[in-house]
Chain A
Amino acid sequence: KAGVTQTPRYLIKTRGQQVTLSCSPISGHRSVSWYQQTPGQGLQFLFEYFSETQRNKGNFPGRFSGRQFSNSRSEMNVSTLELGDSALYLCASSLDENTEAFFGQGTRLTVV
């Protein structure tokens, strides 16, 4: 059974640009969540999508957005990139809200 797949694995962007990250969940999983990991703030929840609807949202500015498609694949977008957005972005999928979340390898975003 394939795991959670995130693309790309590495990305370098310039301040002010926008970026889109992609996540393909485990087959059959309907919940997809996104997290940001930085050395200073640790692992922080960005948002969760379930059956194409945003179910939860963390404390991040509106520059961070996401969506989920009918096949459960999800994308997150960050507009007007700032240096502080440099981080490891992790996607996790779950069958539903009462089961474990499995994480992808992450996308390392560097903003220069």
Chain B
Amino acid sequence: DQQVKQNSPSLSVQEGRISILNCDYTNSMFDYFLWYKKYPAEGPTFLISISSIKDKNEDGRFTVFLNKSAKHLSLHIVPSQPGDSAVYFCAARKGLTGGGNKLTFGTGTQLKVEL
């Protein structure tokens, strides 16, 4: 039962353009969402998060949008840089409802930023 889904296994974008990574979830108890970037054989690096009480959060080149009614979130990277090439994971948590820090991860999207 995949509660967090990233339906695009890969995405290719030109340098300087916008990268949009998508994530869908099925469990309405999730109330906190995070995006991580990961290189092979390394731990995930935290990028940005959003609480269910917001619909947008911005941090530099990264913006996360949350659409609760559609159970959908997206990560926008503008402008995209070659160093952004990595696997991006969406994760969800039921923290505010007593879920602790158990993160449920999506399957990841491989982003490739080309020159």
Per-position binary interface string of chain B over residues 90-115, scored 1 when its CB falls under 8 Å from any chain A CB and 0 otherwise: 01000110011111111110000000
Which of the four size classes fits the interface of chain B? 20 to 34
**A88 vs B68: C-alpha distance when bound (angstroms):** 32
B36 surroundings in chain A (CB, below 8 A): 103
B42 touches A106 (CB 8 A): yes
Given A31-B101, A43-B105, A56-B101, decide whether A100 and B43 contact each other with a Cβ distance below 8 A. Answer: no
Q: Does A72 contact B (CB under 8 A)?
A: no
Q: How far is the CB of A31 from chain B (nearest CB, A)?
A: 5
Q: Does B45 contact A (CB under 8 A)?
A: yes
Q: Does A70 contact B (CB under 8 A)?
A: no
Given A56-B99, A97-B95, A100-B34, decide whether A45 and B104 contact each other with a Cβ distance below 8 A. Answer: yes
Q: Does B44 contact A (CB under 8 A)?
A: yes
Supply 4 further A-B pairs (C-beta < 8 A) apart from A90-B44, A103-B46, A106-B42. Answer: A45-B103, A48-B101, A92-B103, A101-B34
> CB within 8 Å of A: which residues of B?
32, 34, 36, 41-46, 49, 89, 91, 95-96, 99-108
> CB within 8 Å of B: which residues of A?
4, 6, 31, 33, 35, 42-45, 48, 50, 55-56, 58, 88, 90, 92, 94, 97-98, 100-106, 108
